[in-house]
Chain A
Amino acid sequence: MFVKYKPKRNLLETILHTEILQGMALTLRRLFSRPITRQYPDEEIPVALGFRGQHALVRDPETGGSLCVACMRCATVCPSRCIHIRYHEDDGKRVVDSYDIEALRCVYCGYCEEVCPVNALVLTEIFEYAAYSRQPFHFDRDGLLANWDRFCRERNISPQEYVNPFWRPRGLPENRLPAGKRLQVPEDWTMEGQVVGSRYREALPNDGTR
């Protein structure tokens, strides 16, 4: 397919500058439409659920500590190797000594929260955090738990009900998930409620779920 050009302008159009006037008419029309600029930071920017932002360790409502079981999967999968975990074994059970994340090395890929078998780690939707030195970005375990508290407080999130899309990836069959990740999720996150094209919609039984 050869691309089409608009016809060359004739003498009258050259004299009258019609194409320039057309362009100016377009910009003039836009002058009266609603502005799309968002006045950040005066206005709050809506952040989508599952935005990969500041790191946090989920606080266990029973013990008050973290849920981490020191399986080391997050530290293994991390492409930038910014997660450092130390643990010791006590009676055959791993006890976390320290859990550190260097946020300045992190690439925010979200692999860690996806592979965590107990949903202990989350990349929260907080995207605005700045400091004057590097030290505040070196999160230890208490810092990460404090991040979770801040996240729940600022976004009015009930810690029991919050489900991050990377904890239980949308559309992933349940048998690919460990037991700890088979969470109760909204309808269209499951394979049964997945959105399909109009071509397939008629072929499927119409029971109101699709």
Chain B
Amino acid sequence: MTKPMHTTLEVPVAAGDEESYSLRMGPQHPATHGVLRVDLELDGETILDCTPRVGYLHRGFDKLAEHRTYAQGLILTDRLDYVGAMANNVGYCVAVEKLLGIDVPLRAKYIRTMVSEMSRICGHLLWLATHALDIGAMTVFLYCFREREVLLELFEELCGARLTFSYPRIGGVRQDVTHSFIRRLTEFANTFPGWIEDYETLIDTNRIWLKRTRGVGVISGEDALDLGITGPSLRGSGIKYDVRKARPYDAYSLVDFEVPVGRDGDIYARYRCRMEEMRQSARIILQCIDQLPPGPIVGDDAPDLVMPLHGHPKKEADASRWGTGLIRLLQDRSLFPRGEVYVSVEAPKGELGFYFISDGSGRPYRMHIRSPSFIHIGALPFMTRGAMIADLIAIIGTLDVVLGECDR
């Protein structure tokens, strides 16, 4: 971090009399993981310059949230990183709970940790599947989707949806876990490390995989920090930074897990980090199941789904709480405090942050999402300088970008 980063790229000129030429890759290119367009400046097959163009999937979530109550805004986060949406849901809820000063029951915290890790495995499996498919390993793709299907079915049993979960709620979760869910999840978490070994048998020492990944897309730890890269992409460069350890939320401080760190900062190191992370996720899931405490899943002071638009709490109709309700009404206390809050969680892609400005009404005055994919795409030009077009595909894959999260 002591070394200043050159933020402006000096575009190298093509050697000799050859003129460089430009090529647009995407936004419909199947290897750009969605609708990413990359404007390339090429000399032969060598990339001189690369400019990512984003925004094809822009839906304006920051703005949409300003017209919705805090409970309604949750559904927008499903559509950020749609391959591991539970981490987004949890991050949103943690941020709003911090804003409103609500405590979450321990049971809900454990359930949230459990589903976040399931979501991380889901996200990493899809990353491995598509990344390997881009590089040319078809079988891994099929095997990963086999395991991902098990998880999606578990999510379906838990919350009635396979991708757009909307499962946590402000102050807890919406549904309790069932016996059959826990039984199936335990079985999955026990067998999953064996399946990871299957993928590793296929590609870990495969010479084509090694040729495509070793020494490609190298970024040093300092540069990665300067560019704001987080998550497994940063840890592959040897920086041990994980929000789950640095600022534990939910039940992460109560479970035991390791943060895998790579040494080389190339695609292979990041690949190894993610594979180890999936093993650790399975470990966390088993610990959560083991430690799942009895109790309510929603806190006593958690707001109703129908939230007031203007900051005063609804009058309680419950006769037993009439006395306190009346006092609360007389005190004219606002349910929504004024102020700002920033909370980040460790999503499968990296550090996902939610920033709220509250003006005391029932809707956020401003919501900003710090999405890891957007920042990772910003690192693309720095990592692809001098590489080949085929390496660009591998580098997009290793950064693990999801354009739904990038464009928001």
Contacts and interface: CB of A to CB of B under 8 A. Distances in A.
A98 interface: no
Given A20-B206, A50-B160, A114 B176 contact: no
B263 A2 contact: yes
A199 B291 contact: yes
A195 interface: yes
Nearest to B259: A1
Interface in B254-309: 258-263, 268-269, 272-273, 275-276, 288-294, 296-298, 304-306
A2 B296 contact: no
Contact of A1 (B157, B198, B260): B260
Interface string A108-122: 111100110000000
A188 B306 CA distance: 27
Interface string B166-178: 1000000011111
A200 interface: yes
A77 B178 CA distance: 27
Contacts of A115: 304-306
Nearest to B276: A3
Nearest to B145: A36
Nearest to A26: B201
Nearest to B262: A3
Contacts of B179: 188, 195
Interface residues of A, number: 55
A9 to B, nearest CB: 6
A170 B292 contact: no
Contact of A171 (B76, B157, B175, B273): B175
Contacts of B149: 36
B19 interface: no
Interface in B156-189: 156-157, 159-161, 164, 166, 174-179, 182
A107 interface: yes
A79 B204 CA distance: 45
B62 to A, nearest CB: 15
B201 A171 contact: no
18 contacts: A2-B260, A3-B261, A4-B272, A6-B204, A9-B205, A19-B207, A50-B159, A50-B175, A51-B156, A79-B73, A107-B78, A123-B160, A171-B175, A176-B298, A188-B179, A194-B177, A195-B182, A200-B292
Interface of B: 68, 71-76, 78, 107, 110, 139, 146, 149, 153, 156-157, 159-161, 164, 166, 174-179, 182, 198, 200-207, 258-263, 268-269, 272-273, 275-276, 288-294, 296-298, 304-306, 318
Interface of A: 1-6, 9, 14, 19-20, 22-23, 26-27, 36, 47-52, 73, 76-80, 107-111, 114-115, 123, 165-166, 169-173, 175-176, 188-189, 191, 194-200, 204
